[in-house]
Each structure stands twice: as C-alpha cells, then as structure tokens.
Amino acid sequence: MDLHEYKPKGKILQRHLLSLVDYSRNDIYEILHLAKLLKHWQKKGKKHELLKGKTLALIFAKSSTRTRVSFEQGIRQLGGQPIFLSSADIQLGRGETISDTAKTLARYGIDGAMIRTFKQSDAEELAQAGDFPVINGLTDDFHPCQALADIMTVYEIFGRLNGVKLTYIGDGNNVANSLMLAGAKTGMEIVCCCPKGCEPSQNIVETAKRFGSVSVTDDLDAAAAGAHVLYTDVFFSMGQDISPEKRDALAPYQVTQAVMKKAENNAVFMHCLPAHRGEEVAAEVIDGPQSRVFDEAENRLHAQKAVMALLMNK
C-alpha cells in the first residue's frame, strides 16, 4: 500500500514523537496525509485552527533556524501559542534536571513540548516525567521531523514512495538514522553511502532492516546508480569536534554534478540544511535545477503541524 491508497482515520496510536522506531506505516501515512491537507489549506488561505488555545513549549539546547521558525509559525497557524525556552535562559542551563523541568511545565498546563537537544535520553526523560506529548525536534541520534518532511517531499515529486530509491551520502548521522526508518517503513529503498568509520549506528541499521530495504556501503558509484534521490548533510553535526581525519575521509563523498549524473535522469538532490557549499555538496548541485532543498525546508512546517495536531488534539 502506498500513500495514495491509505484511508485516513484522523488519529495515530502514539503519545509522543521521540523517534520513528515505534511508528507504524499507517502512523506515518496519517501524518503525511494530514500534512498534505494542511499545506493545501494554507495555500488556499483557509484557516485551520485545530489547536486553538493550545500552548507548545519549545525547549532548545541547540540553536536552530528551520526548527524554531517552523514550530513557532506552525503552532500559531494551528491557533495555538509557542513558549520559547532556550537552555541559556532557563534553569536547565544551570543544572536543573529534565524531570523537574517537565513536572513544572505540567503544572503550568502546557499542552505539548518540542525539545531540540543533544542526548536522546533527554527527550525520553521529558516524555516520561511530563503529562504532555513530546516531539523530538532533533537529538544526536534521531531527527524524525526532518525525515517526515523529506518523504513528504519525495511523494510530492514522484507521486509515490514505494520503490523510490533514496541514497544518503556522507556521515551516518541522526538524519540518516531517521531516513532509514521512515523510508523502510513506507516502501522506499534506502542506501547509506558512507566511508569506513562514518557509518550509521549498526543497531539502528538492523532495526530499520526489519521493516524494509536498507543497506550501507562505501561504494559511491554503486550507491548513486539508479537513485531517484541523492541526499546529503553536513560532514560535522552541531557540537561535534572537527577532525581533519574525518574531513579527509568524507571529502571524496561530496555530491557533485558528476555524482548526480550517475543517478536516474529525473533524480533530485535533497539536503536538510544548513549546507556548506564546496564541502558536502557542490554549489552547482544545490543551486541547480535538480535541487529540492527549499521544498523540503518548507515541508518541515506542514509535517510538523500534522504531528502537533495529531498528538496535541486527542
């Protein structure tokens, strides 16, 4: 079953979005279906205040452009209000526990929280200690909101997810982890092409393989061949030490026009942004006609609105 065959139910069987490990194909399709509808309504200027009067706490231990703006705009467009909480401004930055923060926010009656932080365990502790839905806006292990926006973009381009080959090239990071899970569960073929020592977590690879077609290789030519989507991310994630050895290992994996030519003729390029032109991607690729990076950036807004609506409007 592909997305166009799915009959929406208006709900998902989930309390939080911490990763996509526990999300079924139907849960993901439900989010994508609503995201497409919300995008349509916004383009038509139709109000969609599904979360009128609701409050979303936005907890940031890592800085952001797309995550902050898309969540703030998203909750407002849904009729709710954001409360921005930087760890530099609240007591988390001075050693207060996640658990104490969650219990305090619960007493103030918030309706949901998004957390963008380093440790996956912080997002999990927030969900366990609070009495509100928690959305993972990014951790070192997972970036589920990005992956949902990405496969939404793939569907818009190709009209299907089943059988679409997406090749992720570069460092096997949190984005790669979430793409493997989202893609495998929706019938895509996901190939992670990484140099030795930069592969994604083996545990997550094995988990994703249980749901669909996932493979890891260091052969760039083979990975790009037949791909419908070539995807990359920065070589060094926020907070990582910049190692000359790692940079040298990743340098041959830059997505250039020559690499794009190895893929299908109608292949597109994707990147979660921010991008470093001349490092993980050539300027002629990211700024060229095959690039869809701003389509996927926009879809962060719509996918996250769908997640908020489904989790916070029980």
The CATH number that applies at residue 81 is: 3.40.50.1370
Do 133 and 157 lie in a common domain?
no
Q: What is the mean pLDDT of residues 289-309?
A: 98
CA distances from 232 to 162, 189, 229, 251 (A): 21, 16, 10, 12
Annotated active-site residue 233? The verdict is yes
Number of domains in the chain: 2
pLDDT for residue 285 = 98
Annotated active-site residue 302? The verdict is no
pLDDT tens digits for range 151-162: 999 999 999 999
CA distances from 255 to 218, 268, 287 (A): 14, 12, 12
Do 129 and 187 lie in a common domain?
no
**Which candidate in 27, 33, 140, 146 is catalytic?**
146
**Which candidate in 141, 272, 302, 304 is catalytic?**
272
Confidence bin at 63 (pLDDT 50/70/90) = confident
**Which candidate in 116, 228, 271, 292 is catalytic?**
116
Do 153 and 114 lie in a common domain?
no
CA distances from 20 to 44, 211, 223 (A): 31, 11, 24
pTM of structure: 0.97
Annotated active-site residue 146? The verdict is yes
Annotated active-site residue 272? The verdict is yes
Annotated active-site residue 143? The verdict is yes
Confidence bin at 166 (pLDDT 50/70/90) = very high
The residue range of the domain holding 28 is 3-142+298-312
Do 275 and 221 lie in a common domain?
yes
**Which candidate in 150, 233, 271, 304 is catalytic?**
233
**Which candidate in 143, 228, 271, 292 is catalytic?**
143
- Percentage of the chain exceeding pLDDT 70: 98
Residue 19: closest CA among 154, 233, 185, 238: 185
**Which candidate in 48, 66, 271, 300 is catalytic?**
300
Please calculate the CA angle 20-120-32 and round it to the nearest 5 degrees.
Answer: 25
